């Protein structure tokens, strides 16, 4: 069990208020911020219950509405800051709860220009087969290339959604062959005129509930030097209309490193605290997407459903992993794998666990992945009982995607003949993509999943039914976090060693 901040104070508080066992009642209307146990008032028992829940005491039960009331600083996560604020309120050190803790731009050296770019009313386009197929093709292409060209086998996870959103913003600044190649990679036969409305509608209609949510944020950072970069208003208007991007003018010095990392840390809910170490002197613009996914299982694992188990690595060695056991009811399979679907609370998202058949490596399985195979696998689920086992795991992953994207079909964007004239009005200072950096984090445990992703595109001006099925994920496996409405993977990855 993790030691949490303020633990001693909360132990003392629990002694003062006895066992703090209060009958659960229906949530009051309107919501009472801090009333975690839904007793109708905020007292030390709420802080104790929340502390036990946060410290992973599985006997501490907090309802969905109780969790909503617990997020007193309105930052969309429950942590020790909420516990502290409840205690301060009980001790009469603050007058109110439920005040959002906003991302503070006032300390930034960067200046947000978005207030000068009013968002226009433009139409979105709902997800359809054409968009689904284009995004699945992009997903399959990325995974096949990454797994084929990795230097050494390792746990990996990418967010195709994060990568595509960052590249889509960038593609709106491209012209000619540069734009055509980027459109082909991102949208197959779809142009940016089609993709922009799709991405707008997709981001605005994400499944969302108190127990499971996916948050998206975009930003553009422009070097404060109009001799090198002057961004046309039309480009900024497009990114505001379709991607709701913050736009910052920044000095591109050490303060910008701090500002960018603070922005990323906030919008990934602290899952990715640092994106960049320094600013390259030739970099003049960053286009960044950040995602934060947090969801609880529809049916969490009870304490008795967890225990140590053996996980067999691809080299035949075994490691001891913390395993979670359950009965699931959605079975998936194809010619080379079996698996199961486990739903998150709210029903908007699911975890797809895919175990390659014995004798089929993760690399071999992913190398055969296509848009059609992913679509068929997810659509072909059957309502069959599955005796399932899955390890708890948590890891970070980082990759530079320049070579992958070049091999997928957009080499011009990285070359000295790239045409990003719609992004920079300084005609004698042409730009190209210098770096596409992607970082992710995932934690899967008894309660659910937390996953974050960030993608940075750096523009530079220098060239460079039957009986129950059994699926035990006790050897390397593939997984996806799936948007059930759009039927698209938001994250996709593989686990080679859950203890790594």
Residue 65 CA: distances (Å) to CA of 26, 39, 61, 70, 383 = 9, 12, 12, 9, 30
Classify residue 423: in a domain, yes or no. Answer: yes
On the question of pLDDT at 105 being above 70, the answer is no
Co-location of 131 and 220 in the same domain? yes
Classify residue 105: in a domain, yes or no. Answer: no
Domain limits for position 82: 7-90
User: Tell me, what's the pLDDT at 260?
Assistant: 94
Co-location of 251 and 281 in the same domain? yes
CATH of the domain at 313: 2.30.39.10
Co-location of 230 and 281 in the same domain? yes
Q: Provide the pLDDT confidence category of residue 222 given band limits of 50, 70 and 90.
A: very high
* % of the chain residues with pLDDT over 90: 65
Co-location of 147 and 166 in the same domain? yes
Identify the domain boundary among 90, 121, 156.
90
* Mean residue pLDDT across the chain: 87
pLDDT tens column, 226-240: 999 999 999 999 999
* % of the chain residues with pLDDT over 70: 89
Residues in the chain: 500
Co-location of 190 and 256 in the same domain? yes
Mean pLDDT on 241-257: 94
Co-location of 338 and 263 in the same domain? no
User: Tell me, what's the pLDDT at 79?
Assistant: 83
Q: Provide the pLDDT confidence category of residue 77 given band limits of 50, 70 and 90.
A: confident
User: Tell me, what's the pLDDT at 73?
Assistant: 75
Mean pLDDT on 461-481: 79
Distance CA 84, CA 198 (A): 42
On the question of pLDDT at 265 being above 60, the answer is yes
**CA torsion through residues 462, 193, 410, 493, sign:** positive
Asked if 211 and 345 touch (Cβ cutoff 8 Å), the reply is: yes
Mean pLDDT on 357-363: 93
On the question of pLDDT at 23 being above 60, the answer is no
**Range in 92-106, 151-165, 435-449 the model is least confident about:** 92-106
**Range in 12-16, 33-37, 437-441, 486-490 the model is least confident about:** 12-16
Terminal CA-to-CA distance of the chain, rounded, Å? 20
Token pair belonging to 375: 């679509």
User: Tell me, what's the pLDDT at 328?
Assistant: 94
Co-location of 313 and 289 in the same domain? no
Distance CA 377, CA 335 (A): 10
User: Tell me, what's the pLDDT at 103?
Assistant: 53
Distance CA 38, CA 486 (A): 35
User: Tell me, what's the pLDDT at 66?
Assistant: 85
Cis check: omega of the bond before 481, within 30 degrees of 0: no
Mean pLDDT on 139-153: 94
Co-location of 249 and 317 in the same domain? no
Classify residue 17: in a domain, yes or no. Answer: yes
Q: Provide the pLDDT confidence category of residue 459 given band limits of 50, 70 and 90.
A: very high
Co-location of 354 and 412 in the same domain? no
Q: Provide the pLDDT confidence category of residue 270 given band limits of 50, 70 and 90.
A: confident
On the question of pLDDT at 57 being above 70, the answer is yes
Co-location of 265 and 364 in the same domain? no
Co-location of 453 and 345 in the same domain? no
Classify residue 426: in a domain, yes or no. Answer: yes
Q: Provide the pLDDT confidence category of residue 465 given band limits of 50, 70 and 90.
A: low
Co-location of 288 and 334 in the same domain? no
Classify residue 42: in a domain, yes or no. Answer: yes
User: Tell me, what's the pLDDT at 71?
Assistant: 86
371-379 and 129-149 are packed helices; what angle lies between their axes, rounded to 10 degrees? Answer: 110
Distance CA 219, CA 243 (A): 9
Strand partners, 337: 334, 356
Q: Provide the pLDDT confidence category of residue 466 given band limits of 50, 70 and 90.
A: low
The tally of domains found in the chain comes to 3
Strand partners, 450: 294, 443
CATH of the domain at 234: 3.30.497.10
Classify residue 360: in a domain, yes or no. Answer: yes
pLDDT tens column, 314-326: 999 999 999 999 9
User: Tell me, what's the pLDDT at 145?
Assistant: 96
Q: Provide the pLDDT confidence category of residue 338 given band limits of 50, 70 and 90.
A: very high
User: Tell me, what's the pLDDT at 11?
Assistant: 40
Contacting residues for 273 by C-beta, under 8 A, at least 6 apart: 261, 264, 265
Classify residue 100: in a domain, yes or no. Answer: no
Classify residue 99: in a domain, yes or no. Answer: no
pLDDT tens column, 386-420: 999 999 999 999 999 999 999 999 999 999 999 99
Q: Provide the pLDDT confidence category of residue 276 given band limits of 50, 70 and 90.
A: very high
pLDDT tens column, 291-307: 999 999 999 999 899 99
User: Tell me, what's the pLDDT at 13?
Assistant: 45
């Amino acid at each position: 069990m993790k030691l949490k901040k303020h633990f001693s104070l909360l132990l003392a508080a629990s002694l003062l208020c006895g066992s703090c066992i209060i009958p659960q009642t229906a949530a009051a209307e309107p919501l009472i911020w801090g009333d975690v146990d839904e007793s109708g008032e905020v007292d030390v028992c709420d802080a104790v219950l929340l502390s036990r829940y946060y410290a992973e005491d599985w006997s501490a039960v907090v309802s969905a509405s109780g969790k909503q009331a617990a997020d007193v600083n309105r930052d969309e996560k429950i942590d020790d800051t909420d516990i502290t604020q409840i205690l301060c309120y009980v001790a009469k050190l603050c007058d109110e709860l439920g005040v959002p803790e906003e991302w503070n731009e006032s300390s930034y050296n960067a200046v947000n220009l978005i207030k000068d770019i009013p968002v226009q009313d433009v139409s979105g386009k709902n997800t359809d087969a054409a968009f689904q197929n284009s995004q699945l093709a992009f997903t399959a292409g990325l995974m096949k290339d990454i797994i084929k060209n990795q230097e050494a086998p390792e746990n990996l996870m990418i967010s195709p959604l994060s990568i595509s959103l960052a590249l889509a913003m960038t593609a709106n600044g491209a012209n000619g062959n540069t734009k055509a190649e980027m459109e082909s990679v991102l949208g197959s036969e779809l142009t940016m005129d089609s993709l922009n409305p799709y991405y707008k509608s997709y981001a605005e209609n994400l499944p969302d509930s108190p127990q499971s949510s996916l948050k998206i944020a975009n930003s553009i950072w422009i070097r404060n030097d109009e001799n090198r970069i002057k961004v046309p208003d039309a480009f900024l208007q497009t990114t505001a209309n379709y991607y709701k991007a913050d736009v910052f003018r920044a000095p591109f010095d050490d303060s910008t490193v701090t500002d960018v990392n603070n922005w990323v840390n906030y919008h990934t809910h602290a899952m990715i605290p640092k994106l960049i170490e320094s600013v390259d002197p030739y970099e003049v613009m960053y286009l960044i997407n950040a995602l934060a996914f947090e969801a609880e299982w529809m049916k969490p694992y009870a304490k008795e459903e967890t225990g140590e188990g053996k996980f067999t690595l691809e080299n035949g060695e075994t490691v001891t992993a913390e395993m979670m056991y359950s009965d699931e009811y959605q079975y998936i399979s194809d010619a080379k794998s079996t698996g199961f679907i486990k739903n998150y609370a709210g029903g908007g998202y699911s975890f797809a666990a895919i175990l390659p058949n014995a004798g089929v490596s993760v690399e071999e399985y992913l190398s055969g992945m296509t848009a059609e195979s992913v679509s068929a696998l997810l659509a072909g689920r059957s309502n069959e009982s599955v005796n399932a086992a899955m390890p708890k795991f948590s890891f970070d992953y980082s990759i530079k995607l320049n070579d992958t994207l070049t091999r997928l079909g957009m080499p011009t964007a990285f070359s000295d003949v790239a045409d990003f004239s719609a992004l920079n009005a300084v005609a004698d200072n042409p730009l190209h993509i210098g770096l596409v950096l992607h970082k992710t984090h995932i934690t899967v445990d008894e309660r659910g999943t937390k996953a974050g992703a960030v993608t940075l595109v750096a523009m530079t001006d220098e060239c460079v039914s039957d009986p129950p099925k059994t699926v035990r994920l006790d050897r390397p496996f593939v997984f996806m976090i799936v948007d059930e409405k759009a039927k698209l993977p938001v994250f996709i990855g593989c686990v080679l060693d859950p203890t790594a």
